[in-house]
Amino acid sequence: MALQSLDIKQRSATTTPSTQVRETIEVAKLIDVSACIGCKACQVACSEWNDIRDEVGNCHGVYDNPMDLTAKSWTVMRFTEVEQNNKLEWLIRKDGCMHCADPGCLKACPAPGAIIQYSNGIVDFHQENCIGCGYCVTGCPFNVPRISKEDSKAYKCSLCSDRVAVNQAPACAKACPTGAIQFGSKEDMKDYAAKRVTDLKERGYDQAGLYDPQGVGGTHVMYVLHHADKPDLYAGLPANPSISPLVSLWKGFAKPLATLAMGAVALGSLFHYVTKGPNEVSKEIEDEIEKEDAK
Amino acid sequence: MIRDPKDLKRYEPKERANHWVVGISFILLALSGLAFFHPAFFPLTQLFGGPTWARIIHPYLGVLMAVSFLALFFRFKHLNQMTPADKEWLSKAKQMVDGDDHNMPEQGKYNGGQKVMFWALAICMLLMAVSGLLIWRAWFGFDITLVRMGAVVHAAAGAFMIGLIMVHVYAAIWVKGTIRAMWYGTVTRGWAKQHHRGWYRQVTGK
């Protein structure tokens, strides 16, 4: 169920406007990659708060564990070793839903109310309305939603919408021991990020910057990156993410037009019948057949 | 069942049964598919036991339609080869639609319009089957770009095919005496002489 204390701004597969009268403050989670030590406390806190235990996997010889997001692991740390400025750097990015202002998942979803966007910017999946088609996966520019093998429902980070609704920070932000995960209004997070970027630049990271990609209207999970010019270094973070043109074509203006066209064919047929009349065997041919029979 | 011993046999029982399997699966696919096509049609999922069941059933119906259409395709392919007379028929199709069939060239078992319908549906069926497999997440997990292309093609070809079938069904309603061929396989001699004179000559020897 939608949380009553949060207003729903947008709802999947719904053609009329959702609640618009009240403007609430936009929230954001800021992940300062430069301050992350890769302890995975956020992963554990996520599992704890949401009360979901993923299967214990196997070690793949790297720090990443689990190796990918799953229906039961809504956030994972992605570890990358790169050489930058002639030295080894260990980049650790907490991956998960970015809570786009223009969410591709919501755009693609065919089930009314299975994906909603609160006016504070959080994009939430309501599994009770989810039909398990996986269109959200098709629509997402960040490859985040996962379909559960147990119940075929889609799952992802909720930005702890239940906690945010009662003025609590998301569990991951609460658990982070280094302050690498900050939570607050989007404006405050941008201000905080600006200070961090200034600091990083003073330390020699000339290309440090904030990751708040405008191709998806900005996000409600943002990163401070030491190499903001190369987001791809961070386990393939897309440089200019946007909803795929294929998804826009699929879910955009073509469908209402096609619906009208189908209606026009149906009505056109009806009016053709009414105006031109049925195509019956002519009297002439019927008489010919009768004559044949009379012989 | 033969109503009049002089009626002409147009379809064998197995051909009719095959057509009905394709037809029933198409109607169920169109209703469940439209539900995911646009929110306006979403309530159609209730016909299938709810939205999740509609999502589960739809692709299996698709497999049924693809297989049964393939059988139908091989049954009727040889009867749907385009001839110069078909092209002439098509060039005069507007007169036919306007209700005047006096200038139409003599047609065999199928006219040019029916043949175009046959091949257009065959292409759509192929597109639907391939794109449908690409987006069937219960069984497959293809590359995201392929899945996105599959979603576009599936929606576009599906909408187009619904339009084609509307024309197909309407043509059968418009041309009186046609639908019985689908039910019990026969048409009257008058019907055959009027609409498919080449076929009429062939089967009656007149």
Q: What is the pLDDT of residues A192-220, one digit of tens each?
A: 999 999 999 999 999 999 999 999 999 99
C-alpha distances in angstroms, B157 versus A258, B33, B70, B130, B160? 11, 12, 17, 11, 5
Are B147 and A138 an interchain contact pair (Cβ–Cβ within 8 Å)? Answer: yes
d(CA B164, CA B121): 7
Strand order across the beta sheet in which A115-118 lies: A8-11, A115-118, A123-125
Residue of B135, B145, B163 lying closest to A261 (CB–CB): B163
Predicted pLDDT of residue A5: 64
Q: What whole-number percentage of chain A has pLDDT above 70?
A: 98
A82 touches chain B (CB under 8 A): no
User: What percentage of chain A has pLDDT greater than the value 90?
Assistant: 90
CB contact under 8 A, B166 and A276: no
Share of chain B above pLDDT 90, in %: 94
What is the reported pLDDT for B3? 66
What's the average model confidence in pLDDT over B102-116? 94
Residues B159/B37, Cβ–Cβ less than 8 Å: yes
Distance CA B45, CA B58 (A): 10
pLDDT of residue A41: 97
Question: Which tens digits make up the pLDDT trace of A154-189?
Answer: 999 999 999 999 999 999 999 999 999 999 999 999
Residues 58-87 of B with CB under 8 A from A: none
Q: What is the ipTM of this complex?
A: 0.92
Per DSSP, chain A holds a count of helices (H) and strands (E) of 9, 11
Span B1-18, average pLDDT:
88
pLDDT digits (tens, 9 = 90+) for B39-89: 999 999 999 999 999 999 999 999 999 999 999 999 999 999 999 999 999
pTM, two decimal places: 0.93
More confident residue, A295 or A9: A9
Exposure of A274 by Cβ count < 10 A (0-12 exposed, 13-18 middle, 19+ buried)?
Answer: exposed
DSSP state of B107: -
| Whether B99 and A152 lie within 8 Å, measured CB to CB | no
| Residue A256 with chain B: CB contacts under 8 Å | 38
The 10s digit of each residue's pLDDT in A98-119 is: 999 999 999 999 999 999 999 9
